Structure 1
Amino acid sequence: MLEKSFDPKTAEPRLYSAWEASGAFAPIADPDAEPFAIVIPPPNVTGSLHIGHALNNTLQDVLIRFERMRGKAALWLPGTDHAGIATQMVVERQLAAAGNATRRDLGRDEFVAKVWEWKAESGGTITNQLRRLGASCDWSRERFTLDDGLSAAVRKVFVKLHKDKLIYRDKRLVNWDPQFQTAISDLEVEQREVDGHFWHFAYPLEDGSGEIVVATTRPETMLGDTAVAVHPSDERYKHLIGRAVRLPIVNRPIPIIADEYADPEKGSGAVKITPAHDFNDFQVGKRHNLPQINILDDFARINENGPRDYQGLDRFAARKKVVETFEELGLLRGIEKTRHMVPHGDRSGVVVEPYLTDQWYVDAKVLAQPAIKAVEEGKTVFEPRHWEKTYFEWMRNIEPWCISRQLWWGHRIPAWYGPDGKIFVAETEAEARAQARELYGRDEPLRQDEDVLDTWFSSGLWAFSTLGWPEQTTDLKRFYPTNTLVTGFDIIFFWVARMMMLGIHFMGDVPFHRVFINALVRDAEGKKMSKSKGNVMDPLELVDEYGADALRFTLTAMSGQARDIKLSRERIEGYRNFGTKLWNAANFCQFNGCARAEGFDPAQVKGVLNRWIIGETVRTAQTVTAAIETCGFDGAANGLYRFIWNSFCDWYVELAKSILKGEDGAAKAEMQATSAWVLDVILKLLHPVMPFLTEELWRQTADLGAARAEPMLISARWPDLSEGLIDPKAQAEIATLVAAIGGGRAVRSELGVPGGARLPALEVVDASAEVRRIFETNSAIIQTMLRVDAISFVSAPSAGAVPFIEGADTYALPVAEHIDIAAEKVRLAKEVAARASDIAHVMKKLGNPDFLARAKEEVIEENRERLEEAEAAKAKLEAALARLEGMN
């Protein structure tokens, strides 16, 4: 017997253990089964589950459970990323907190050993949290970007790309984090708006005939200036192009050059050029063959290239000293307050410097061409499709990819240096030594490159390295290319594009056929979640409070492609109630003897109500199947919600009561068998979204009637229902009943008729013979559900009856004795006026270009939703008022 209610706290761990122990998460061995593979976007090994992970992994799980039930060899391959800078930071902080030596005190080998110790003890946190969410990954195939197999793949790729001249060493600008003393990727740079200043400096012309004024927010960088640029068409400076200024403090002559980078409309129209400390200036410097003078060391202190009395100063102390010196020299022309964006390391929190260093690079432009073509030709498609534009824009303007990091935790670059600086790139030190011996004619000491590879390099191989490459494994042959990648828009550049480039280059085919870009989860007001705002929602807390299924259903139902998700506890609670509604309906079925009948054939059902619910079940199965196939997750969830809550739990269960309590044994038996059949189909359709509750219902209803073919729902076959089971006549008949009862209930509610009041009749106006037959046949049900004493067939509504129209039919309810019609008209008119005022106010806002330009996107969206709600409420009130006005 079913328990009174579903208890997620006890059921979820028990069910998950049973799934895992059964081997259901592994792809079926059938060699003829169509493969369907998803590789997980590997979370950082340092990480904990956040709400974005919850959304992303829920959608992946919906897909994989769906395809598993469809009989495919479904593989969801899990794993974690070593997360170089993040993991190194965690362990360094632990060392500091314990009062132990720094990593530099420990030395590389001992420090890396400490990181491995931490990984062994704490690195599995997020994978255990994914289990709590219900993620049905094949944990037997779990990978880690630093495991032996993936490390071998990384070395092989590096060596091959170097041999193909697609990896090289170069001196270029990088994002430099002075706290960690490493280059970082653009993704690890956070732009923050801060208070600052524009300092206006005068640079005297070398011949003493005047000066040129430049402005900067970073005065210390002027120590590395190598030119002043003006626009070639700026009449104010045309006569100065080709001449020189004497750089103050440094006392070095630098040229005045013409370059379109200088904007005549900005400031003085002249800009200082520091190629070693600004990305735009670096490009200007390349165009004009300017010297690149790096004036900072790894800690962002002034180095030996700065004036003697500046050397060793921190960059901000140097900034203050530069400004003071310009003032003393009489060359400070003004200070202007400003708010501007300044790059910060997202983990260190310090200001990031554009910094000129020797690094390893990938020729991304060459690798990008086949990856662009693959999307152009539709070999890989993005959903929603507009993200292809983002992909193309970045790929067609791609820059060399800096892949080296000045860290100790990660894949150490497989390059060794000879005593003369000659570089030997090889998969092993032994191979490098053999190369050196061949060059030098003898053994020479070699030094391995100290740097490690960017984590995006190893994760760029994820779609094939996790399947065993470079070995030609069975998994690689069976599951590459994978089918679908589910990920966020923020890593299209950093991960999706790099997997495309490397997958095509090394495997000769795209790594996945479809990329689904999931939405961003915001708070209930549409604001981005952040710790500083205090609006972060912890998915594990939500699972504790509402159960994993309620959170999963909420995220799935709200994951529409058009907008971000506004998550609230009220929504999650509502979907928990949806699960409770289904549980109660199952309890009702069990209480009323509903059980699976041996050899039950839905095509042979005779009762109209049963034929109707079978048809609705078929329609829902079609809707859900088509939606999940196309990643329309919200369409699937909302279709399930409407069918289960409205069609099955409300209408079918309510309409069935009179038959289940009646004397007709054959009709009762058919309804009991039909109910059990529909409930089984519901559990299958709902399982990918709400796996725990459905599996528990499947388990607890196992002994009701005929045995099922599948003991566990996770391994059950997806419903494949014939279109022929839809009976249009039954659909029309029950739809007429549902419309009349639903419309009548709405009228009672809108006009404030007391809930317990019984009305004299439901009046059916000008009924056709078919409509009359439907209402005569089902009069008892209608009287009970609408709380009326009779069904009347009339040519026009009686006096005091409110008419309402549903479809092609007109009805009326006599309500005069239960409400004050005059007062109700006044109330409704006031409500309509109030809504009209709200609508006018919001429309005025949304029609104001200044408001649209200044307001945050979430505020604009909130107003649009408010307008939509007000218009819907007004229409409903106007309809109610019109009904009263139309009374006889």
Structure 2
Amino acid sequence: MIEKYDPSLIESKWYQHWEQQGYFKANQQGTGSYCIMIPPPNVTGTLHMGHAFQDTIMDTLIRYHRMQGKNTLWQPGTDHAGIATQMVVERQLNAQGTSRVELGREAFVDKVWEWKEQSGNTITQQLRRMGASPDWSRQRFTMDDGLSAAVLKVFVDLYEEGLIYRGQRLVNWDPTLNTALSDLEVESIEENGSMWHFKYPVADAQGQATNEHLIIATTRPETLLGDTAVAVNPADERFQHLIGQQVLLPLCDRLIPIVGDEHADPEKGTGCVKITPAHDFNDYEVGQRHDLPMINVMNFDATINHNAPEPFWDMPRYEARQAVVKAMEDLGLLDEIKPHVLMVPRGDRSGDVIEPMLTNQWYVDAKTLAGPAIKAVDNGDIKFVPDNWKNTYYAWMNDIQDWCISRQLWWGHRIPAWYDEQDNYYVGLSEADVRHKHGLDETVKLRQDNDVLDTWFSSALWPFATLDWPENTQELQTYYPTNVLVTGFDIIFFWVARMIMMGLKFMGDVPFKEVFITGLVRDSHGQKMSKSKGNVLDPIDLIDGITLEDLLAKRTQGLMQDHTKKVDHIIQLTKEDYPDGIKAYGCDAMRFTFASLASTGRDINFDMGRVEGYRNFCNKIFNASRFVFMNTEDHPAQAWTMDQASTVEQWIVSRLQHTIVEYRKHMDRYRLDLASQTIYDFFWNEYCDWFLELSKPLLKTAMKAQVQGTLLYVLDQALRLLHPIMPYVTEEIWQAVKPRLNLSAESIMISEFPTADEALRNPSAEAAIEWIKGFTLGVRQIRGEMNIPPAKALPVVVSQVNQQDQDMLAAHGELIQNMARLEAVTVLSAGAEEPAAATALLGEMKILIPLAGLIDVNEETQRIEKQMGKIEQEIKRAQGKLNNDKFVSKAPPHLVDAERDKLQTNQQALSELQEQLEKLQSL
């Protein structure tokens, strides 16, 4: 074992060893299977903190169950990420002075594959750096041959059952990318805009404009050109007499009906709503209810098409907006313009404003597939952790809409539909399959659909397609359904639900038994991490460290790639939070931090102070182990027994059993935060702080060999408990434990996970050591308060002693003297006068340390008073800042909170010093 803890010296060594030995591979052996499917990250880029958080949870669970002898599979893979990947390659081509259109489809797709091969290893290398142990031999990609074949079969089967169809409906349309988007790919952003109020003349029986007008309000004047009705609420007495009549649509010379519909809210706006079914999702529903025509007035690039009046042809939408407003003003039909704050839908990749667009797309009948998926959660076949997330699932599933699965891209699974020259379409696994099924010979010219499938369509098949479905493989039989899906709440609708629907449809069983919903990783101030905010952390930077200069360069580059120009605040934020860059903490410290924050379903604030603390924990584990090894060099290589164990050993072994039970209970309930706290408390507070100290005098007795064995045994068991979360440091240390205990496993990761033995629980030993700890802490408290050196041997007098206290003093007097550094312990008889002394209580027993000759009361009083004066100045300064309204209102919230924390800490310290002073003055 290396002499000083240095994660950089052990991480690459052990990971390479594990992988070479094949420890990560699913081996089809073991008692029962345990399988997790990795949510496939997009192949486009790098893993972020959310990935690192979830991957730590998954790897911890996999290692935990692997050590229990389960036949484990953690299935790795990546997603082709249609839009994101195509955009990356298109930008590269643009920088080279060309475009995908110039290259043509086939050549462009070849370019994307080239890029994927070059950059695709980035994510897998990051996962390795984070200690992830998936079965790399089974790595999959959503567009590899096997998954592509599964996608084709599912599409064809659903089409032939009538569950996939082609239809014309409204979709989210990105005018920059020229494709439909899912709701997940659209971000609604609050922006300042305007509300235009227009007058629509009511028409008479002959269709001529009257002097009566309906006033409508809109934030999108250009869509006026596609209006096909005006809606009023049927209960609105102001307009009831007009329902069934018509208005003359300005600029278009078209008569459109006035319809009664509850979509019009009498309490909002003017009470009259223009209805544009081809350009608004709510209007589309109104149009369906009233059988209104749908007039699309926009081209795919968001210019006005020739369905609109000629003066507006080919105008970009915002130019057309100005032209419409000007034309309405010229006609005297512009009533007013009001400032208005609205939610603007923007494509998350392009940043362009999304247009609801009437297009022909392919759809899945999601309502039919949703029924069994709802039932699976209802009857408990799938459980959400925490349970409340099933309500989110139900809310969407019970109101599910048909799923638009086509995208106007070139990168992705091309839709397996072929069209003849009359635009009749045929669906099949291939063109040859289509010709065979439909009797089409070579004289019939066919062209394949240009669109590709939504990325979520292939991702929905992930749990079974990665196990080589539709072949009934041994892996499919062994690992499906999988045990748990670890994912974020934000994709319950878009991925979790669709996997459930597809799994039930094609496998006849749920894809996973539990869904563990994690929270969002936020920065230390509770802000969502994003490039534009400049608070993104790269998990690898936490492992390796990074200078401030390199951190600034990385963030600025990431921001510029995100098409934003706000760099100054990134520099300020980075310098403020990381003035010295980020230290190299190592993988184990980062993983333990994530585990400690992994409470079910809650967002987590990632605080670098925690990582620092757990880096110290790694160091503590290492140094404690070195102490054990230095004191067990002459221990014979043999298994540990409890044959002649002392009370101290019985206590630590008993506490170990309690720790094992609690740790396993928390892990089985996905409470990694509580599991990590349990083992942290045991190792640091009980094993290191107490057992190692209690063992030192015993190592000098005839019990040495026995105590050595216990030191090694408990260390071995603690390392095994720690290993799923902290794989590297535990392996490094365990390899040195192994020969001393004659252990047979080749690696800690394939050793047996600890199981509690109730026969080793010893309440009386626990009670005895708790008494010894209480006595020792009482003495230490007095030493600290009175500034008595730790090494100085003290006389102690005890009074009000009961029978238990007498028994403990008789049985463990020597141990107490060693632990508390005492000269002697004198027991006062009942009624005897107590000496002037500093006092601590243990139950009803008083622990008295006579201070005469130990300290100079006057000198100690002056020291405390001087310390109190400094703290009083700090309190006064903090109160002054916090009483300053300008500071509280204008300073960053985390600085204000920090000042409040300082004030509270100093006030507590002042109170404690005051108590010490009062004790001194009473002597």
TM over 0.5: yes
CA–CA distance in 2 between the matches of 1:832 and 1:610?
47
TM-superposed CA distance for 1:791, in Å, is 3.2
Contact 1:595 1:676 in 2 (8 A): no
CA–CA distance in 2 between the matches of 1:866 and 1:484?
43
| 1:772 matched to 2:771 | no
Show the counterpart of 1:726: 761
TM-superposed CA distance for 1:442, in Å, is 7.6
- Provide structure 1 residue ranges, at least 5 long, that are not aligned to the other structure: 846-850
TM-superposed CA distance for 1:3, in Å, is 2.1
| 1:575 matched to 2:609 | no
Tell me the secondary structure at the aligned position of residue 375 of structure 2: helix
Distance 1:301 1:761, change over 3 A: farther
Distance 1:862 1:356, change over 3 A: farther
Show the counterpart of 1:848: none
Equivalent residue runs for 1:134-173 within 5 Å: 134-173=131-170
| Deviation sequence 1:784-807 (CA, Å, 0-9, x none) | 554554434456995654544456
TM-superposed CA distance for 1:700, in Å, is 3.6
Equivalent residue runs for 1:58-457 within 5 Å: 58-99=56-97, 101-207=98-204, 208-437=210-439, 443-457=443-457
CA–CA distance in 2 between the matches of 1:777 and 1:793?
14
CA–CA distance in 2 between the matches of 1:203 and 1:745?
87
Distance 1:150 1:342, change over 3 A: same
Tell me the secondary structure at the aligned position of residue 296 of structure 2: coil
Contact 1:243 1:256 in 2 (8 A): yes
TM-score (structure 1 length as normaliser): 0.91
CA–CA distance in 2 between the matches of 1:230 and 1:563?
44
Once the two structures are overlaid, the 10-residue window that deviates more, 405-414 or 286-295, is: 286-295
Contact 1:436 1:443 in 2 (8 A): no
| Deviation sequence 1:384-430 (CA, Å, 0-9, x none) | 11111111111111111110000010001111112222221111211
Tell me the secondary structure at the aligned position of residue 464 of structure 1: helix
| Deviation sequence 1:617-638 (CA, Å, 0-9, x none) | 1111111112112211111111
Task: Indicate which of 631, 642, 645 corresponds to 2:681.
Answer: 642
Equivalent residue runs for 1:344-743 within 5 Å: 344-437=346-439, 443-544=443-544, 545-561=584-600, 563-593=602-632, 599-660=638-699, 662=700, 664-665=701-702, 667-703=703-739, 705-743=740-778
Show the counterpart of 2:16: 17
Tell me the secondary structure at the aligned position of residue 341 of structure 2: strand
TM-superposed CA distance for 1:33, in Å, is 2.5
CA–CA distance in 2 between the matches of 1:530 and 1:77?
28
Once the two structures are overlaid, the 10-residue window that deviates more, 536-545 or 772-781, is: 772-781
CA–CA distance in 2 between the matches of 1:130 and 1:772?
58
TM-superposed CA distance for 1:146, in Å, is 0.4
Distance 1:490 1:867, change over 3 A: farther
TM-superposed CA distance for 1:239, in Å, is 2.0
Distance 1:27 1:349, change over 3 A: same
Contact 1:765 1:797 in 2 (8 A): no
Equivalent residue letter for 2:336: G
Distance 1:861 1:774, change over 3 A: farther
CA–CA distance in 2 between the matches of 1:271 and 1:833?
65
Show the counterpart of 1:27: 26
CA–CA distance in 1 between the matches of 2:818 and 2:143?
67
TM-superposed CA distance for 1:880, in Å, is 8.1
CA–CA distance in 2 between the matches of 1:862 and 1:225?
53
Contact 2:231 2:260 in 1 (8 A): yes
Contact 2:78 2:142 in 1 (8 A): yes
CA–CA distance in 1 between the matches of 2:434 and 2:236?
56
TM-superposed CA distance for 1:684, in Å, is 0.8
| Deviation sequence 1:708-743 (CA, Å, 0-9, x none) | 111211111111231111111111111122233335
Equivalent residue letter for 2:655: E
Contact 1:69 1:714 in 2 (8 A): yes
TM-superposed CA distance for 1:188, in Å, is 0.8
Identity within the alignment, %: 47
TM-superposed CA distance for 1:781, in Å, is 4.7
TM-superposed CA distance for 1:552, in Å, is 0.3
Once the two structures are overlaid, the 10-residue window that deviates more, 422-431 or 145-154, is: 422-431
* Number of positions where the alignment pairs a residue of Structure 1 with one of Structure 2: 867
Contact 2:385 2:601 in 1 (8 A): no
CA–CA distance in 2 between the matches of 1:632 and 1:836?
42
Equivalent residue letter for 1:684: R
TM-superposed CA distance for 1:782, in Å, is 4.0
Tell me the secondary structure at the aligned position of residue 659 of structure 2: helix
Contact 1:759 1:813 in 2 (8 A): no
CA–CA distance in 2 between the matches of 1:160 and 1:37?
27
Distance 1:442 1:586, change over 3 A: closer
Distance 1:868 1:517, change over 3 A: farther
TM-superposed CA distance for 1:204, in Å, is 1.7
TM-superposed CA distance for 1:59, in Å, is 0.4
CA–CA distance in 1 between the matches of 2:841 and 2:870?
24
CA–CA distance in 2 between the matches of 1:822 and 1:699?
54
Contact 1:177 1:345 in 2 (8 A): yes
TM-score (structure 2 length as normaliser): 0.88
Tell me the secondary structure at the aligned position of residue 337 of structure 1: strand
Distance 1:799 1:275, change over 3 A: farther
Once the two structures are overlaid, the 10-residue window that deviates more, 538-547 or 322-331, is: 322-331
Tell me the secondary structure at the aligned position of residue 6 of structure 1: coil
Equivalent residue letter for 1:23: G
| Deviation sequence 1:344-376 (CA, Å, 0-9, x none) | 111111111111111111111111111111111
- Provide structure 2 residue ranges, at least 5 long, that are not aligned to the other structure: 205-209, 545-583
| 1:52 matched to 2:50 | yes
Tell me the secondary structure at the aligned position of residue 533 of structure 1: coil
CA–CA distance in 1 between the matches of 2:625 and 2:535?
37
| Deviation sequence 1:446-466 (CA, Å, 0-9, x none) | 111111000100000000000
TM-superposed CA distance for 1:701, in Å, is 3.9
CA–CA distance in 2 between the matches of 1:229 and 1:814?
92
Distance 1:808 1:382, change over 3 A: farther
Contact 2:837 2:848 in 1 (8 A): yes
CA-based RMSD of the aligned residues comes to 3.2
CA–CA distance in 1 between the matches of 2:910 and 2:635?
46
Tell me the secondary structure at the aligned position of residue 305 of structure 1: coil
TM-superposed CA distance for 1:776, in Å, is 4.8
CA–CA distance in 2 between the matches of 1:131 and 1:461?
25
TM-superposed CA distance for 1:534, in Å, is 1.6
CA–CA distance in 1 between the matches of 2:406 and 2:6?
50
| Deviation sequence 1:137-174 (CA, Å, 0-9, x none) | 00000111101110010011011111111111111111
Once the two structures are overlaid, the 10-residue window that deviates more, 865-874 or 384-393, is: 865-874
Show the counterpart of 2:207: none
Equivalent residue letter for 1:492: I
